[in-house]
Structure 1
């Protein structure tokens, strides 16, 4: 669980990142979760955008992705989700 100070730090780092994945009409599924899990292990901080044709709410998708990848939700703003998971091998982000 992230503290408020840690979330602020991660939001500042994520501000300049581009979304790596897009969630569309199919919503979140095992295939997407597997790929996000691989990417977040290498990057630690990841942005995901939810397309307009997706029927699910971004907060619901964020909860599903966080549960499936064992990551923390840093923020959901509009249709953009920011996830964080500490890497076992490629630790690059130092939390306050």
Structure 2
């Protein structure tokens, strides 16, 4: 279910103070990067991802791959940083960026 524009606006405001947790470099979405993305999304729900990919077209390809991940919503992508959200059924209040 797509998020409303108000909810996305709220997530962008929360994401402003976050630091990137995962960095995706020139090798793209390897198995290790996918595992770390899933762990980070399970723990934090809302995360920033640094796209350390030099070419703009390659960054767009990586963003398209991120969109294809199950239940992942891209809230915002500015330059080399993307803000991702995936709802967690039982979020940990100590780890979730939405509950802190």
* TM-score of Structure 1 vs Structure 2, range by shorter chain: 0.7 to 0.9
Total equivalences in the alignment = 93
* 2:58 alignment counterpart: 56
TM-score, normalising length: structure 2: 0.80
Is 1:41–1:88's contact at 8 Å kept on the other side of the alignment?
Answer: no
Following TM superposition, by how much is the alpha carbon of 1:62 offset from its aligned partner in structure 2, in angstroms? 2.2
2: CA distance, partners of 1:8 / 1:53: 28
Which residues of structure 2 form unaligned runs of 5+? none
Residue 20 of structure 2 is aligned to residue 19 of structure 1: yes
Quote the RMSD (CA, aligned, Å).
2.0
User: Which ranges of structure 1 fall in alignment gaps of 5 or more residues?
Assistant: none
Check the 8 A contact 1:33/1:65 in 2, yes or no.
no
TM, length-normalised to structure 1 = 0.83
Q: How does 1:1-96 map to 2 (within 5 A)?
A: 1-53=2-54, 56-57=58-59, 59-90=60-91, 92=96, 93=98
Where 1:33 maps in the other structure, the secondary structure is helix
